Chain A
Amino acid sequence: MVDSTWGTQDGPRDVLGPVAGEPAFDDHRPPRSDIVDDCVHCGFCLTTCPTYALWGEEMDSPRGRIYLMKEGLDGEPLTASMVRHFDRCLGCMACVTACPSGVRYDRLIEDTRAQVERRFDRTPAQRALRAAIFALFPYPRRLRLLRGPLRAYQASGLQRLVARTGLMERLGPTLATLESLAPRLGRVTAPPRLVPARGTRRAVVGVLTGCVQGAFFPDVNSATIRVLAAEGCDVVIPSGQGCCGALSVHNGREKEAQRFARRLIDTFARAGVDHVVVNAAGCGSSMKEYADLLRDDPRYAEPAAAFAAKVRDLSEILVELGPVAPRHPLPLTVAYHDACHLGHAQGVRAQPRALLHGIPGLTVKEIDDPEICCGSAGIWNVLNPEPAAELGDRKARNVLATGAELLVTANPGCLMQVAASVRRLGGEIALAHTAKVLDASIRGLDPQSLLQQSSR
């Protein structure tokens, strides 16, 4: 190119020299170059990116990460520095919301992460930590052991796996928060298989019980089921659902995620439901992407697409159906927090607010910087405890600034993360899932019942 910078001289010196090493990506689902090319480098994503907010460095921004992908596609090797920046992405998808050019960064990072997991040699310590996490989280029964008396956990054999990796220390704050949040049930009773609609039946829905939700917040699942039934749904709760694969897919464990997805598709296929209702944002967003996850699977591609089309967040289905159950007043001031995987990944923002506004006496406050992730991000806060705490504190300060007495959100991870930070800041706020607020209103419960689950 001859232009004013170089005049008629040669272009700038190539300071880098030739590429060394094997290209970053192989042919099995590399990040799509056509999507990479959609990025016009405008930078509108930068300020919504949590890691850019923390560090202000290009390579830890969506624009920079896309640039790194492009470098990889151009033949640069998968170096430790490249991987570090991919790993640091929380996957909150705020950039997807912010992008005026419609770049599907979610697709890019997912494919990139799968390549990293397959092709990059992590250090033994990193490998062990990840193995421990994935031996634990996607398995509701193993998770439940963490809740009970320590004895059970010690007896489970899980300890040997987990102890060496330092996972328990990393989980410490989270677990402490969990304990303070989760109602102290002796055992978690499994929900019934079917709860019939109250009044006229308007739909037949299945409910995902989830891993963390099922293990630690069974009351949220109960509330979800009651609300759906009250709004005229026959609610089917198939047993043996297992994990939806969200954590796996968000961390590049493609095969594992596909395995989980197939199982869940089969489970709900047998249930014969109109919709599959999810009350955890992260699960819902990955279930809506099953068609993409299983696109190369000749047997499952079609059922996956059909399944994905049926998936609804609880708030979506309730707004679609429209309210029939009368609401009782809840004279409370609440702050509504958009979980990233509900707001950014699913675009569900108006519905939960509409539902909350539909409760007489309830005041809904907006939180500053709503687009910025709280730092929970699946297992990101376990892998990156320090920056996660910083993000959590930022979010907690904004939450506390609303003056609300109750924080409402639709994701268990966010609730735990923000609660831990509120506690660290010495503040206090009660926390509840949207389902619990609606349930309390429909059942005419004492508003005080919602304020009992507190960060303190």
Chain B
Amino acid sequence: MDWEPATADDQVAGVPARFVAAPASTAEAAEVLRAAAAQDLAVVVRGGGTKLDWGMPPRRLDLIVDTHRLTGVVEHAAGDLITVVRAGTPLSELDFGSQQLALDSPLPGATIGGSVAANVSGPRRMLYGTARDLLIGITVVRPDGTVARSGGKVVKNVAGYDLGKLFTGSHGTLGLITECAFRLHPVPPARAVVTRTVPAAGVGALLTAVREEQVVPSAVEVDRPPGGEVTVAVLVEGTAEGVRDRAARLEKVLGGHSGDLPSWWGAYPWQPGGTGLKLTAALSKVPDLVGAAAETGIRGSAGTGVLYASVASSEDAPRLVERLRAEAVRAGGHAVVLTAPAEVREAVDVWGPVPGLELMRRVKDQFDPGHHFAPGRFVGGI
């Protein structure tokens, strides 16, 4: 297959590539990677290009493997509630009729492969889980060009190691994902969102009240603009009768009202080119974290303890990142700078402390002994 010379746009976090290859199949991808390995090329995988500025810049870069030709739904077995999708398929193009892949995509244009590799998630992770929970099978091409598969096309399956989980969130450092099998969910016929805006001090009580009420929300989101009050928004999905009843109960316990999804729903709070953080917390500490983020603002899944914050000014970034990280750690979680301008990335610890790093290095050494794939992009310089 053909490789193209890179153009000025073919950069990864500011590092220019020399070539671009766009395989259209797993076999072609294997061929590309075998050749790249033989030439000792450093490789970064690109899907929709929505997260190329995430993580650290690659230490070196020769080849971008672009998945835009690796697209399409291979199989949709409606009766079995599963699908097999090629990695380059944009999430927004998936249409399974009365069924859905319940993976929210905060960044328009993101592909399946990119979403899995970066482990992105949105509000409905509370009910449906994240990519790791929905993924039931994966086909990858290892950096040496070996094609490997794990899992399968049935939801229930414990044969062999679950490499799908290992590749989920690996940020392209272990190999190229070419196909993913997912479990699907029925599209619920009805939904409702109940919102209430309160001062930050009142968030804890609201979240507890929602939890006490056994209404099984699909999402419990919070949004706090810098210096502002906190909006709590709860999504319920189900049958028309069920949703009516559940929403009414939520209105009562929240003292809020039902309406449509708020405009900020499922979107990251930062602008392109800005500094964005992912903050996690134990559930009971989410109100503390929300309370501590007055200066930057905060948004995200209060129902699972995964939130996002934006740092507007680059000058303040190191101080604010450290403060938010301290708060997140105090809340039992972590703070990761997902994206930031070059000057911020250089000034802060993007990934923060990572437990089990030694084992992770050993995993990397096994899968990518030549450190060809996205070198330096991931935790601990992996």
- A and B: direct contact (Cβ < 8 Å)? no
B: residues with CB less than 8 A from A are: none
A: residues with CB less than 8 A from B are: none
